[in-house]
Structure 1
Amino acid sequence: MTKASDLFVQCLEAEGVKRIFGVPGEENADMMMSLQQSSIEFVLCRHEQGAAFMAAVHGRLTGTVGVCLGTLGPGATNLMTGVADGNMDRAPLLVITGQAATTRQHKESHQVMDVVSMFKSVTKWSQAILSPDAIPEVVRKAVKLAEAEKPGAVHIELAEDIAKHETDARPLKVNTVRRPAPDTKALDQAWDLIAAAKRPLIIAGNGTIRTRASAALRAFCDTTGIGALMTFMAKGALDLDDPRCLFTIGMGQRDFPMTMVEESDLIITMGYDMVEYPPSSWNAKGDTKIVHIDFLPAEVDNNYSPDVEIVGDLAGAISALEKRAKRASLTYDFSAQVALRTTMQKEFAAHADETGEGPITPQKAIADVRACLGPNDILLCGVGAHKMWVARQFQCHEPGTCIISNGFCSMGMPLPGAISAAISCPDRKVLGLVGDADFLMNLQEMETARRLNSDITMLVWEDNAYGLIAWKQEQEFGHHTDLSFGNPDWMGLAKSFGWHGSTCTRPEDLQTQLAQALNTDGPSLVVIPVDYRENMKLTERLGTLTVSL
């Protein structure tokens, strides 16, 4: 016979789980004792939200389930934001919570709430363990669902008394599921549209950064010459140096990449996810000819009615279309693609040589970040005005090298996310780019980073306000409400947590200071004053922001 909590941990080991991020409580004490005797590392965090972000980033970077743990009541509610964020950013994520004994769940009792129902709204599946014998099935189903397309969060609750029970159940065999191949008739219909088009365009979504899908997309673009716009979370699906890479869509209604959509006679969406960028923002009239290629059928939307839907393994579908392309003689007009790349490259370089005193422009800061990071290094970006600039200006060589929260769009991810990235990818440099408000959302994880000696750098853009809200209000109303706040003594803060710290006020010094921080062992903090006057200058040039926040 095996103790239920021991069996639960054995099932996690069978699933290949290497670590769990979390904050334990009284009601999962048995689970913690079982973990202590296992091969699984427990990463003690300072807040459950931070733990959930860490697990989600692990899932996004590795494609395997990230695991976080909290206790009942406030521990469970603290997990919610990070779990919702991971779920809508399509991260495979397993959430484990403790619960009061079944002998008191039926009545008013200390810290008892219906956690399973609460998590149903932010997960693919939420289930309590009702019998220790069911643990192998519940764990296997949870991980299988979390990693299945589209990936997302799942939740398991284990009550304290059930954790102590004995069982003779054993972990289930972990099987690999092959995704179904796309329908040949749908492929033929889609190819007919692609071959007949004159100015086809790809919109690559979050699904294309899966390793096989990204490779298939690159091969398809190389064979056909068709260019791809990438959503925020699809950065790196095409290399920024690839002539078919048309950079990022999703920021502004009239940003330059939008002209590509308007001039195209066929849009091919690959791994496109509406939670990132609604079709009403790029197909307002609903009359665009669309080929939808994804793991799942298209969501029903007035502005998204594909002419053909190819449903099945995304990489397999793209490769099947590429085989048809190799046999065809295609005549496309790519002049607009060439013009767009030229325009955007000028935009990226516009402030790269900025000098002088005073606040540093977002464009300059991002140019220096790109210069300091290698092709496989990782940038994590939070939510705020800085996200808009990263989305527009920062481009990638490889998939999975820019982690942006753009589904649920929660603030607070980059610091805990950077800690997780450093653990999951120890051979790559990790930089978190945050606003001052964003950084303070999970400030407590500075201690976790120091305790783990996380080799990370956090670049804080300081404007002493909720800059993105000010930007949006000013666009709509011509002015904004009072959104200002105070900030800590940043260098004092860094010192108090044992971090390396520096401030930079001269644009010409930033690249040097960033490089030094990235090459310094352990956690480093770099703070710059940011010139958000550039926000409205960009609006005046390009038009109103349309991204949902």
Structure 2
Amino acid sequence: MNAAEAIVQCLKSEDISHVFCVPGESYLPILDALFSEKTIQLISARHEGGAAFMAEGYAKASGKVGVVMATRAVGATNAAIGIHTAKQDSTPMVVLLGQVARTFRGREGFQEVDVEAFFRPLAKWAIEIDDAKRLPELLTRAFRIAQTGRPGPVVVSLPEDVLHEQIDHVIFSKTIVPKPAPSQEDIQRIEQLLQSANRPVIIAGGGVIRSKATDVLRLFAEKWSLPVMASFRRHDVFPNDHPLYVGHLGLGTQRAVIETVEQADVVLAIGTRLSEVTTQDYRLLSTQQLIHIDIDYDVIGVTYSPHIGIVSDAKEALKRLLTIKLQQTWTAWTKKRREVYDQVSSLPSIKRNINESVIDTLQRLLPPESIITNDAGNFASWLHSFFQFQQHTYIGPTSGAMGYGLPAAIGAKLAHPHRSVVSLSGDGGFMMTMQELETAVRYKIPIISIVFNNQMYGTIRMYQELRYPKRVIGTDLSDISFAHMAHSLGADGVRVETEKQFLHAFTSALQNNKPTVIEVMTDPHVLSPFLTVEQARGGKQ
């Protein structure tokens, strides 16, 4: 077989069923090899950034490795935003990039860039394969690195001439991800520290979701009435309507929710790197005793020095923690923290704006197994503040990447074709990747895109008004009809201005099995659920 055919055989061995790309001349042999492989569906996107977001969203939803392909420098650099998102979100992804022929390297050939040097800071690993005979070894290693330890994106650069070379037939084997477990001594130390606690709290992150440990986490929390918080944009790590769930540590988190961590005396952080956002600019966890469990040795101790630091798969750790014995003294405190969360996360009976009506409608009408994706933007603060997520129902970028929601929804829908998938975007973020709506139409992928249109970059406007009142520059946007644009791309589209109109549009979208855009016209003076332009200018929050 040639090297390109060997790549496809490796994809098959890793149980890859979808590959995302924008086709490129530099890797035509791989496309040709995929033509003959009926078990892998190629999804050809409109932009490499969109293709990378699709692969990242697909990986999150499916639990598999996301695979994306792009051509030399110009395509590769377009894909960089999705690679960065996968790195910050700990998402397993393999990125196959075309490269100029080896004889042209170092001459600034057409579309040449040093791929390894460019992507080394963005990826978990970057490698250029300049010897076809080493391709099986290095590509297998790429899939192993992407999935083991803290998962992440691996970039593989493939010089065009290498892809044509013949190599011996290779039998690939699927990567088996190791699951390290804590020792009995580690478990006893955790037991002793939790036994000394009066106000313990669990902060659960993406590692719990990735290791399929959400049910075990719930059992552990229920056994000892331990309150659980979700790290940034990992809302679905624990059922939000559960009496032990006490909030999400994200952007704009209500002060009352943050106080739960501040009042805690022992924090059990599982599968989270305790990021800047989760720790509220690294200001939390200054006085608490910290137990930090993570799959990656390099994560533990980076932000905070833990009292107990353990390298372990989240599920293996939680299974062993089910065996500990505690004399709980915190039941009343846990109940109080849940009451506080209920107070700040409940929508008012009379909706103050259409944003609240949208979230209320989603909560009432979405089937329980539905998946929600979202962009970055102020519109998301309504979703994050008020929507009650169930396990495995949310996909969002901890990188804060705009343009993520729609393509990630396409990837999620391909992973779970029988589940409803809804993306939420602002008009700014949606415009960055809305061309991928045509991709959804072409492949008949029926996702629902809700676009909150306030004709501005709302998050930046909020900070402008807070820091430089009335000195607005660069954040105004045009009045564009996204509903009309959706129709021109072959999708359904509707513009709504009232709760009743949205209810009708969303009900229809759930039933019509077709890509749909619902454009929600929102009040530009309402910057967040808790802040208007006038309040921002007056310094009131």
TM range (shorter): over 0.9
Cross-structure match for 2:483: 491
Aligned positions of 1:17-166 closer than 5 A: 17-39=16-38, 40-166=40-166
Cross-structure match for 1:374: 367
User: Structure 1 residues 456 and 131 mapped into 2: Cα distance closer, same or farther (>3 Å)?
Assistant: same
Aligned positions of 1:11-410 closer than 5 A: 11-39=10-38, 40-210=40-210, 212-252=212-252, 255-275=255-275, 277=277, 279=279, 281=281, 283-284=283-284, 286-297=286-297, 299=299, 304-325=304-325, 328=326, 330-351=327-348, 353-354=350-351, 360-399=353-392, 401-406=393-398, 408-410=399-401
Give me the whole-angstrom Cα distance separating, in 2, the residues matched to 1:68 and 1:112.
Answer: 19
Aligned positions of 1:401-440 closer than 5 A: 401-406=393-398, 408-440=399-431
Give me the whole-angstrom Cα distance separating, in 2, the residues matched to 1:254 and 1:477.
Answer: 24
Deviations 1:348-403 (A, max 9, x none): 44345438xxxx3433322222222222100001001022332222221112x111
1:212 is paired with a residue whose SS is coil
User: Structure 1 residues 130 and 214 mapped into 2: Cα distance closer, same or farther (>3 Å)?
Assistant: same
Q: 1:518 Cα shift?
A: 1.9
1:439 is paired with a residue whose SS is helix
Q: 1:209 Cα shift?
A: 1.6
Q: Which amino acid aligns with 1:13?
A: K
Give me the whole-angstrom Cα distance separating, in 1, the residues matched to 2:25 and 2:400.
Answer: 32
Q: 1:288 Cα shift?
A: 1.8
Deviations 1:234-291 (A, max 9, x none): 2122212211111212233652211211221111111112346353646457222111
1:528 is paired with a residue whose SS is strand
Q: Which amino acid aligns with 2:495?
A: T
Cross-structure match for 1:467: 458
Give me the whole-angstrom Cα distance separating, in 1, the residues matched to 2:170 and 2:500.
Answer: 61
1:368 is paired with a residue whose SS is helix
Give me the whole-angstrom Cα distance separating, in 2, the residues matched to 1:257 and 1:20.
Answer: 40
Q: 1:22 Cα shift?
A: 0.4
CA contact (8 A) 2:491 2:514 kept: yes
Cross-structure match for 1:547: none
Q: Which is worse superposed, 278-287 or 464-473?
A: 278-287
Under a length normalisation based on structure 2, what TM-score does the superposition of the two structures give?
0.93
Deviations 1:438-463 (A, max 9, x none): 10001211111111111111000011
Deviations 1:275-321 (A, max 9, x none): 46353646457222111122123647686221111221211112212
Give me the whole-angstrom Cα distance separating, in 2, the residues matched to 1:280 and 1:317.
Answer: 26
2:52 is paired with a residue whose SS is helix
Give me the whole-angstrom Cα distance separating, in 1, the residues matched to 2:267 and 2:46.
Answer: 46
User: Structure 1 residues 105 and 537 mapped into 2: Cα distance closer, same or farther (>3 Å)?
Assistant: closer
CA contact (8 A) 1:450 1:523 kept: yes
Cross-structure match for 2:539: none
Corresponding residue to 2:519 among 521, 527, 534: 527
Q: 1:471 Cα shift?
A: 1.3
Q: Which amino acid aligns with 2:455?
A: N
CA contact (8 A) 2:293 2:300 kept: no
Deviations 1:473-504 (A, max 9, x none): 32333445221110322232121111111122
1:375 is paired with a residue whose SS is coil
Deviations 1:55-82 (A, max 9, x none): 1111111121010011102011111111
2:127 is paired with a residue whose SS is strand
Q: Which amino acid aligns with 1:16?
A: D
CA contact (8 A) 2:225 2:334 kept: no
User: Structure 1 residues 315 and 195 mapped into 2: Cα distance closer, same or farther (>3 Å)?
Assistant: same
Q: Which amino acid aligns with 1:372?
A: L
User: Structure 1 residues 47 and 152 mapped into 2: Cα distance closer, same or farther (>3 Å)?
Assistant: same
Give me the whole-angstrom Cα distance separating, in 2, the residues matched to 1:173 and 1:275.
Answer: 35
CA contact (8 A) 1:362 1:532 kept: no
CA RMSD of aligned residues (A): 2.2
Give me the whole-angstrom Cα distance separating, in 1, the residues matched to 2:190 and 2:296.
Answer: 16
Q: Does 1:504 align with 2:500?
A: no
Q: Which amino acid aligns with 1:92?
A: P
Give me the whole-angstrom Cα distance separating, in 2, the residues matched to 1:426 and 1:309.
Answer: 40
Give me the whole-angstrom Cα distance separating, in 2, the residues matched to 1:398 and 1:300.
Answer: 26
Corresponding residue to 2:439 among 444, 448, 451: 448
Q: What runs of 5+ residues in structure 2 fail to find an aligned partner?
A: 537-541
Percent identity over the alignment? Answer: 27
Q: 1:346 Cα shift?
A: 4.1
Give me the whole-angstrom Cα distance separating, in 2, the residues matched to 1:193 and 1:275.
Answer: 24
CA contact (8 A) 1:260 1:337 kept: no
User: Structure 1 residues 20 and 435 mapped into 2: Cα distance closer, same or farther (>3 Å)?
Assistant: same
Q: Which is worse superposed, 471-480 or 188-197?
A: 471-480
Under a length normalisation based on structure 1, what TM-score does the superposition of the two structures give?
0.92
User: Structure 1 residues 227 and 66 mapped into 2: Cα distance closer, same or farther (>3 Å)?
Assistant: same
1:269 is paired with a residue whose SS is strand
CA contact (8 A) 2:295 2:314 kept: yes
User: Structure 1 residues 452 and 303 mapped into 2: Cα distance closer, same or farther (>3 Å)?
Assistant: closer
Deviations 1:71-96 (A, max 9, x none): 10201111111111122111111100
